[in-house]
């Protein structure tokens, strides 16, 4: 293939625009990831954990595609430790650690020396002080990086991170535990004054990046003499600021580098050259070239320049960290054989003069490029249109954001559940924490608060209502205020909890009205059920759902997602008796078949649509409106049967248990038994259906005896 480089660059630009690597797609990715990290931080602060969460890497930078399936890099920064570089930064009563870089540390790494909390002095060396978290070296007590291992619940550790495998459409996640140093690393002070040919980054950008401080993450260098004592210095927040400043051509060049990496340099999944190395090469190239170079019609030339730089780094076994220049990212990474193979593969790609781009399968880039270059006719391949690709990208961003909201809302509920005897006061404290954080938060944090807070408001209102009903009192005006504040948390879950509260007070007409309005609201939008109780496949989204995600901002989540309805034990008096059984699903044997995140099995949790029709059935039964009651029962049954074709019930066993109890109330004992048996087929253990079967059989036997 012999193609003019400008023509090839413009063709690549069109392909990238079609697969969503454009200004709009990049900005939507970034905002959803920043909102996600704010939601996670809010959830931590709500339960009193002094931590900040950061989503870093390609997902938050917007420098990825659907086909690249980039990991989600999440950094948890705990503020209980005060990492200092100067004695003036020492704080009384804190866990203070002095960052040390000397002849024993690898460039880009440090030791953390323990300091006394009562005065700015080193912690004295304790005889036999070496243990799992502390080591001694050169008369100093040093913190070991193995402290992270004490917090691992699941997943495997890779360097500083815990790798959690995402299932189905959820992203794989690398979780890093980090400690914050508020001051800029001394080893990176030279970067603040460095200036390349392209006059990028500007001095103002460098000073702004320096204000982010740095992290220390628990991993040592591969070439260190003391790997268990070293901590890597991370300037990831500064790097994210730099990535946010790149233009779309530079972002596309980075994406292309990663596609080449995955297709030709690391084709079998082995990690030889990392995406972070590619990013570092890109930043060096941008710094050392004129800014006018990075234009759409010059994309392929920019790519070639980056590959030449990468090739040189591999051959010399040296790639300087962009900010901490003395840190060689390739030190100890490659064997001679691997280095030679990488060098050959990069050379082969460059010598192909773009031909090998046609072989990239990721996101159909090669085939799309063939069409753009008129090498094959448009009809040769059946690609998803750029509009549908855009809709898919937007949908994925909002589905993942909604999943994070559900997941961290579950975590808050778990902590409320732990304080069973003080549920009201605990929730009051959590609500105060949440509101206090939002008042002092930045604009993005306020946006995250707006979409997360209503779930907690609803739970607080329901717990207050349950406490009143349990004591035989009327639901307090305060409870109704909180329930009203949480009414629009999502499409239906909070509305259904309000309906359940009203039903439990005996106000059947009001409950029926809320249920009717909720049903209308549900079917007025392209709704996707969301559940983070357990990992499962996400239903294929409709075209309408994707279109709404593209056209609207994150506020649309409130209309187009329906979270599962969760009741913790402190809400039990607002839960219909038939659903209360779900709080007792786990037998002694069943407890051995639960995972560390299965706290929801001690709650009453149900999908919104089955719960809607179940509540309608109960309300119409007590109102003696036979026709509407039967219609609601038919809808409940149809909803469960529809799940065979379109998977969207994540608590199907609970829906079947509710249907079975309705059938019992209709004296249809055989149908009820079939429901319970089907329920056990869905979830064999930790399922209250076994109790329902025993009760039903006992009842039938007693009737025969009589």
| pLDDT tens-digit map of 118-143 | 999 999 988 766 677 899 998 899 99
pLDDT reported for residue 152: 38
Give the pLDDT band of residue 174 (cuts 50, 70, 90): confident
- Indicate which CATH number applies to the domain containing 340: 1.10.1410.40
Is residue 672's pLDDT more than 50?
Answer: yes
- Mean pLDDT in residue range 307-325: 96
Query: Is 196 or 252 the better-scoring residue by pLDDT?
Result: 252
pLDDT reported for residue 643: 82
Task: For residues 188 and 694, give the distance between their C-alpha atoms in angstroms, rounded to a whole number.
Answer: 69
Residue 660 domain flag: yes
Give the pLDDT band of residue 440 (cuts 50, 70, 90): confident
Residue 178 domain flag: yes
What CA–CA distances, in Å, run from 470 to 473, 498, 581? 7, 16, 17
For the chain, what is the domain count? 2
pLDDT reported for residue 170: 47
pLDDT reported for residue 420: 72
Q: Which of 348, 372, 396 is the last residue of a domain?
A: 372
pLDDT reported for residue 155: 41
| pLDDT tens-digit map of 546-580 | 999 999 999 999 999 999 999 999 999 999 999 99
pLDDT reported for residue 151: 46
The predicted model scores a pTM of 0.91
Q: Which of 372, 397, 424 is the last residue of a domain?
A: 372
Q: Which of 163-177, 318-332, 407-421 has the highest mean pLDDT?
A: 318-332
Task: Give the chain's mean pLDDT.
Answer: 91
Is residue 171's pLDDT more than 70?
Answer: no
Residue 31 domain flag: no
pLDDT reported for residue 2: 63
Q: Which of 316, 345, 372 is the last residue of a domain?
A: 372
Burial (CB < 10 A; 0-12, 13-18, 19+), residue 200, is: buried
Task: For residues 615 and 487, give the distance between their C-alpha atoms in angstroms, rounded to a whole number.
Answer: 17
pLDDT reported for residue 666: 96
Is residue 104's pLDDT more than 70?
Answer: yes
Region of residue 686 (left: phi > 0; alpha: psi -120 to 50; beta: else): left
Residue 475 domain flag: no
Cis peptide before 201, with omega less than 30 degrees from 0?
Answer: yes
CB 141 within 8 A of CB 122: yes
Please report how the helices 608-622 and 508-523 are oriented relative to each other, as an axis angle in degrees rounded to 10: 150
pLDDT reported for residue 160: 52
Residues with Cβ within 8 Å of residue 505, at least 6 apart in sequence: 469, 474, 475
Is residue 461's pLDDT more than 60?
Answer: yes
- Domain that residue 622 falls in: 576-706
Give the pLDDT band of residue 165 (cuts 50, 70, 90): very low
| pLDDT tens-digit map of 629-657 | 999 999 999 999 998 777 789 999 999 99
Residue 307 domain flag: yes
Query: Is 102 or 151 the better-scoring residue by pLDDT?
Result: 102
Residue 335 domain flag: yes
Task: For residues 299 and 250, give the distance between their C-alpha atoms in angstroms, rounded to a whole number.
Answer: 8
| pLDDT tens-digit map of 342-383 | 999 999 999 999 999 999 999 999 999 999 999 998 887 888
The least confident of 222-236, 377-391, 629-643 is 377-391
pLDDT reported for residue 195: 80
Residue 165 domain flag: yes
The least confident of 208-212, 376-380, 453-457 is 376-380
pLDDT reported for residue 381: 86
Phi, psi dihedral angles at 72 (to 5 degrees): -100, 115
Give the pLDDT band of residue 441 (cuts 50, 70, 90): confident
What CA–CA distances, in Å, run from 124 to 119, 133, 192, 208, 291? 12, 16, 36, 38, 53
Residue 182 domain flag: yes
| pLDDT tens-digit map of 138-147 | 889 999 998 7
Phi, psi dihedral angles at 52 (to 5 degrees): -125, 140
Please report how the helices 236-244 and 203-210 are oriented relative to each other, as an axis angle in degrees rounded to 10: 140
Query: DSSP labels for 290-322?
Result: -GGG--GGGHHHHHHHHHHHHHHHHHHT--B-S
pLDDT reported for residue 705: 64
Q: How many CB atoms lie within 10 A of CB 644?
A: 9
């Amino acid at each position: 293939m012999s193609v003019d480089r400008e023509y090839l660059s413009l063709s690549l630009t069109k392909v990238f625009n079609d697969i969503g690597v454009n200004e709009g797609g990049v900005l939507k990715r970034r905002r959803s990831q920043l909102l996600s990290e704010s939601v996670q931080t809010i959830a931590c602060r709500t339960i009193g954990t002094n931590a900040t969460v950061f989503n870093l890497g390609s997902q938050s930078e917007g420098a990825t595609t659907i086909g690249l399936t980039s990991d989600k890099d999440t950094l948890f920064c705990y503020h209980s430790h005060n990492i200092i570089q100067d004695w003036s930064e020492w704080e009384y009563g804190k866990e203070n650690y002095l960052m040390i870089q000397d002849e024993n540390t690898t460039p880009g790494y440090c030791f953390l020396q323990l300091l006394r909390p009562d005065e700015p002095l080193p912690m004295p060396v304790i005889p036999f002080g070496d243990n799992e978290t502390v080591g001694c070296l050169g008369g100093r007590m040093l913190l070991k990086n193995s402290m992270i291992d004490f917090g691992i619940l699941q997943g495997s550790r890779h360097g500083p991170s815990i790798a959690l495998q995402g299932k189905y459409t959820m992203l794989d996640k690398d979780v890093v535990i980090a400690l914050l140093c508020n001051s800029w690393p001394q080893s990176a002070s030279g970067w603040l004054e460095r200036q390349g040919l392209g006059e990028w980054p500007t001095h103002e950008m460098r000073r702004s990046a320096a204000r982010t401080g740095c992290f220390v993450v628990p991993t040592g260098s591969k070439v260190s003499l003391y790997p268990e004592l070293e901590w890597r210095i991370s300037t990831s927040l500064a790097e994210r600021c730099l990535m946010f400043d790149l233009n779309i051509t530079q972002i596309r060049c980075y994406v292309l580098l990663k596609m080449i990496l995955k297709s030709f340099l690391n084709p079998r999944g082995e990690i030889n050259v990392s995406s972070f190395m590619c990013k570092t090469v890109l930043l060096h190239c941008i710094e050392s070239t004129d800014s006018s170079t990075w234009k759409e019609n010059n994309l392929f030339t920019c790519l070639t320049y980056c590959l030449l730089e990468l090739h040189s780094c591999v051959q010399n076994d040296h790639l300087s960290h962009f900010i901490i220049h003395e840190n060689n990212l390739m030190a100890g990474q490659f064997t001679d054989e691997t280095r030679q193979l990488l060098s050959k593969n990069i050379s082969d790609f460059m010598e192909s003069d773009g031909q090998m781009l046609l072989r990239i399968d990721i996101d159909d880039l090669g085939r799309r490029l063939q069409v753009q270059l008129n090498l094959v006719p448009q009809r040769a391949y059946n690609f998803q249109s750029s509009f549908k690709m855009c809709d898919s990208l937007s949908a994925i961003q909002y589905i993942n954001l909604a999943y994070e909201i559900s997941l961290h809302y579950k975590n808050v509920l778990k902590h409320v559940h732990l304080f069973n005897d003080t549920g009201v006061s605990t929730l009051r404290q959590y609500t105060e924490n949440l509101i206090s954080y939002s008042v002092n938060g930045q604009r993005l944090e306020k946006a995250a608060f707006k979409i997360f807070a209503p779930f907690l408001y609803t739970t607080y209102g329901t717990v207050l209502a349950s406490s009143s009903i349990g004591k035989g009192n009327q639901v307090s005006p305060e409870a109704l205020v909180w329930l009203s504040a949480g009414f629009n948390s999502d499409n239906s879950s909070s509305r259904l909890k309000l309906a359940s509260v009203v039903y439990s007070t005996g106000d059947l007409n009001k409950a029926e009205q809320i249920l009717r309005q909720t049903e209308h609201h549900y079917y007025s939008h392209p709704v996707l059920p969301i559940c983070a109780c357990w990992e499962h496949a996400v239903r294929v989204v409709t075209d309408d759902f994707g279109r709404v995600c593209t056209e609207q901002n994150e506020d649309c989540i409130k209309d187009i997602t329906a979270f599962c309805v969760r009741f913790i034990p402190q809400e039990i008096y607002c839960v219909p008796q038939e659903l209360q059984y779900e709080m007792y699903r786990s037998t002694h044997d069943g407890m051995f078949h639960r995972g560390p995140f299965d706290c929801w099995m001690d709650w009453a949790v149900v999908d919104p649509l089955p719960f809607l029709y179940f509540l309608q059935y109960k309300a119409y039964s007590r109102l003696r409106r036979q026709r509407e009651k039967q219609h609601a029962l038919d809808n409940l049954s149809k909803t469960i049967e529809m799940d065979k074709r379109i998977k969207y019930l994540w608590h199907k066993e609970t829906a079947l248990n509710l249907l079975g109890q309705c059938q019992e109330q209709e004296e249809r004992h055989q149908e009820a038994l079939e429901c319970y048996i089907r329920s056990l087929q869905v979830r064999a253990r930790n399922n209250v259906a076994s109790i329902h079967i025993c009760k039903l059989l006992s009842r039938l036997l007693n009737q025969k005896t009589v």
